[in-house]
């Protein structure tokens, strides 16, 4: 899902991509320090972090950068975010 979000973000707001990558890296670092067999946040079955938690973290972060972008993110990735069992990483 990271690639899809990055692609989407590139078309929306290019100057935020660097920060986004850093944000994802931080997120993955915090994941790798924990259990890998279930989502480290909600504990659903996923390899590292589920789409739902990834979406809510990235969405929350985007909201802080740009409220409109956060809203657009939530609606554009609505289906992915709603499927907690699909792992993104």
User: Given candidates 17, 37, 42, 82, which one binds Zn ion under the rule CB under 5 A?
Assistant: 42
Q: Shortest gap between Cβ of 38 and Zn ion (angstroms)?
A: 8
CA angle 27, 64, 15 (to 5 degrees): 80
User: Given candidates 9, 31, 53, 81, which one binds Zn ion under the rule CB under 5 A?
Assistant: 53
4/56 Cα distance (integer angstroms) = 15
Q: Shortest gap between Cβ of 16 and Zn ion (angstroms)?
A: 24
82 binds Zn ion (CB under 5 A): no
Q: Shortest gap between Cβ of 62 and Zn ion (angstroms)?
A: 18
Q: Quick one: tokens of 24?
A: 């994802």
Q: Which residues pair with 50 in a beta bridge?
A: 87
7/1 Cα distance (integer angstroms) = 10
Residues in contact with Zn ion by the rule CB under 5 A: 39, 41-42, 50, 52-53
């Amino acid at each position: 899902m990271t690639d899809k979000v990055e692609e989407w973000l590139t078309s929306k707001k290019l100057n935020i991509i660097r920060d986004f990558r850093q944000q994802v890296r931080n997120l993955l670092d915090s994941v790798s320090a924990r259990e890998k067999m279930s989502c480290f946040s909600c504990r659903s079955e996923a390899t590292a972090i589920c789409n739902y938690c990834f979406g809510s973290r990235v969405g929350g972060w985007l909201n802080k950068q740009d409220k409109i972008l956060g809203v657009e993110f939530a609606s554009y990735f609505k289906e992915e975010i709603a499927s907690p069992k699909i792992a993104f990483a």
